[in-house]
Structure 1
Amino acid sequence: MLVDRHSPPAPVTGQQVTGPPAVERRGSVAQANAKRAAGLLAAVGLLAVVALASIAIGAKDIPVDQVWHGLFHYAGTDNDVVIRKLRLPRTVLGLLVGAALGVAGAAMQALTRNPLADPGLLGVNAGAAAAVVSAISFFGVTSMSGYVWFALGGAAVVSALVYVIGGSRSATPVRLALAGTAVTAVLQGWTTAVELSDNAALDRMRFWQVGSLASADMSTVRYVTPFILAGAVLALISGRPLNAVALGDDTARGLGAKLTRTRVLVMISITLLCGAATAACGPIVFIGLMVPHVVRGITGPDMRWILPYAAVLSPVLLLGADVVGRLITRPAELQVGIVTAVLGGPVFIALVRRRRMAEL
């Protein structure tokens, strides 16, 4: 039998001819990242629209051209004063607090591998609030500087306490959620008892306790900004190690992740973010629970994208809830913490009822 030496070799049975796998993988990853970047840019645009609505809408609506005038061509008119002195600080604080709670929630869920983790659900916000109430009643603290330090201390203590009660390294999502719920109940009872026994503390705390942006001013913004920025930076640089943590401790160690360092950095980040946010406007719940779940449906499980998305979309939810609270009871307003609780309750129930949540 004669064989042509220049003819191509016969194909192997069952083998498919495909392009270079590495090139295809790089192309698909690049396309996915391009879509995520475009989505993040769209989210920033949505945030700008909501921020503009937050400045324009209130007991008295202000036209967009007057908003622009008050922001960039201040002349001391009534609208200019309302924009600069009241609504701009409120909007900026809402941006900071929303980003802080969203990033803290996403980082907490990744660190604990618990889809139900949230600064409110795990007691971190309650710890900060209880510390601030105690500082007001027992130590006469009335300044934002005092609030922040007590809130940071309370958030740190409660974070460690819930982690220990939940089982430390052997903790499961359900045990952490139960531990957080129990600690939150105790701290809320303490907070209520302190307020009822001290009328002065009650007067200062009654609106703060439900979560409100109404008393925002630029001095508050300036004071909490460094803490929130530091916490956000720590969370963002922990994105890659958190991806490894999500695979389990053994796998993470095999990939070279430094688990202790990652846990410490993320816990410091969560403490800074939650403590500063709670000190500024009170405990606001469900922001850190809802937004990360929405973001995962857009970005997938990569924390390097989840954290930036959460930092942008969480203020959208918070400022949107604040605008809704101003509209439904105009000319009065409903505190943003109440609105987010009303919105977040059904979402939390839906998450718990999902089959994979029930199996945790």
Structure 2
Amino acid sequence: MRAASALILAGLALAVACLAYLSLGARGDWGFVLMFRGARLVALLTVALAVALSTMVFQTLAANRILTPAIMGFDALFLLGQSLLVFTLSGVGVAALGAYVTFGLETAVMLLAALLLFGTLLRRGQDISRMILTGIVFGILFRSLTQLLNRMIDPNEFTMIQSAAFARFNNVPEGLTWITAGLTVAVGIWLMSKHRQLDVMALGRAASMTLGVDHDRQTRRLLAAVALLVSVSTALVGPIVFFGLLVSALAHGLAGSWRHAVLLPLSALLAGCILVASQTLFERVLHLQTSVAVVIEALGGLVFLAMILRRRKT
């Protein structure tokens, strides 16, 4: 009953947030307003869905609720790619590539790196904890290389890299939005169809294999789906580190259930509600140009610290 109530309330809150985003302060031709704001709303919902599902699945596989896929260094690899493009092609060259080519290159590089890491370590019999530690080491390496390149880049072109350091929702090409939305929805449907396997895998590798689940094979498949979601969402709007942690903590607190049939859709609804409502507040009410992702990341960081301190006390 509690889980059903949480889902209904989250769905209603998301509907209100979407309605407010589309209608608040709208003037002129409603057809143009809905078309313009609708594309940006789809981008917000796509990122929310990708971040929520990838975080929930990753936490289940890692058996740790204070981790997110960002710990594997996706954000560092994204910024390294941005720095490499600007360093080799200059700002004019990057602009000449076009949004579609840049999006394809960034997605392909992040996805390939993730699949190589997951496939190499997990097929050699290493556990997921060592894979996470390896991802952390690679993330540090990528950040160091990014800092080195940033010192060698023309200061006038460094602003392009600075703007890519935070998620941005205002300048997303409409065509890329629909491509990313299609991929994200398809992967999301597949992940939700795996909710029973995820329930079993949350018990651990030994228990999963005892209950008839091929844990290693399912882990590789699920991690590939997580990598795809993180890659396309990061390439679309930029890196988001702590937002998934904030959504996961709220979903676990409100669901009152460990079943992924509840946790996955609830986290997606909460993520959409938070992202759309925050963007509406900043853009329509307060008329601020600051990226809403900065504030959301700060809240997620506070949740991360609170969870760590609470675990130490217990």
> Shift of the alpha carbon at 1:114?
1.6
1:123 aligns with 2:80: no
> Shift of the alpha carbon at 1:180?
4.8
Equivalent residues in 2 for 1:115-264, closer than 5 Å: 115-135=65-85, 137-138=87-88, 140=94, 141-158=97-114, 161=117, 169-172=126-129, 180-199=135-154, 202-264=158-220
Unaligned runs of 5+ in 2: none
CA deviation vs aligned residue, 1:173-207 (integer Å, no higher than 9, x gap):
xx776655543333233334434534476344432
> Shift of the alpha carbon at 1:269?
1.0
Distance in 1 (CA, whole Å) between partners of 2:183 and 2:234 is 12
1:49 aligns with 2:21: no
| Cα separation, partners in 2 of 1:209 and 1:244, compared to 1, 3 Å | same
Which residue in the other structure is 1:26 paired with? none
CA deviation vs aligned residue, 1:310-338 (integer Å, no higher than 9, x gap):
1211122222333344379x544111221
Query: Which of structures 1 and 2 has the larger relative contact order (alpha carbons within 8 angstroms, sep 6+)?
Result: 2
> Shift of the alpha carbon at 1:119?
2.4
Corresponding letter in the other structure for 1:344: G
Q: CA RMSD in A?
A: 3.1
Distance in 2 (CA, whole Å) between partners of 1:235 and 1:102 is 12
CA deviation vs aligned residue, 1:267-325 (integer Å, no higher than 9, x gap):
12111111110011000121211212221223321112211111211122222333344
Which residue in the other structure is 2:248 paired with? 292
Q: Which moved more, 1:120-129 or 1:331-340?
A: 120-129
1:348 aligns with 2:299: no
1:322 aligns with 2:282: no
1:93 aligns with 2:37: no
- TM-score if structure 1 supplies the norm length? 0.73
Unaligned runs of 5+ in 1: 1-31
Equivalent residues in 2 for 1:53-92, closer than 5 Å: 53-56=20-23, 62=25, 70=30, 74=31, 80=33, 83-85=34-36, 87-92=37-42
Contact 2:180–2:236, Cα closer than 8 Å, also in 1: yes
Which residue in the other structure is 1:313 paired with? 270
Contact 2:246–2:299, Cα closer than 8 Å, also in 1: no
> Shift of the alpha carbon at 1:170?
3.8
Which residue in the other structure is 1:11 paired with? none
- As a proportion of its length, which structure holds more helix? 2
| Cα separation, partners in 2 of 1:186 and 1:158, compared to 1, 3 Å | farther
> Which is greater in Rg?
1
Q: Which moved more, 1:121-130 or 1:339-348?
A: 121-130
How many residues are matched? Answer: 305
Corresponding letter in the other structure for 2:302: P
CA deviation vs aligned residue, 1:83-141 (integer Å, no higher than 9, x gap):
533x3322210110011001100010001112122122332333344335434543644
| Cα separation, partners in 2 of 1:288 and 1:276, compared to 1, 3 Å | same
- Residue 283 of structure 1 aligns to a residue whose secondary structure is coil
Contact 2:42–2:181, Cα closer than 8 Å, also in 1: no
Distance in 1 (CA, whole Å) between partners of 2:105 and 2:196 is 30
Q: Which moved more, 1:314-323 or 1:241-250?
A: 314-323
1:110 aligns with 2:60: yes
- Residue 121 of structure 1 aligns to a residue whose secondary structure is helix
> Shift of the alpha carbon at 1:168?
6.9
> Shift of the alpha carbon at 1:155?
4.4
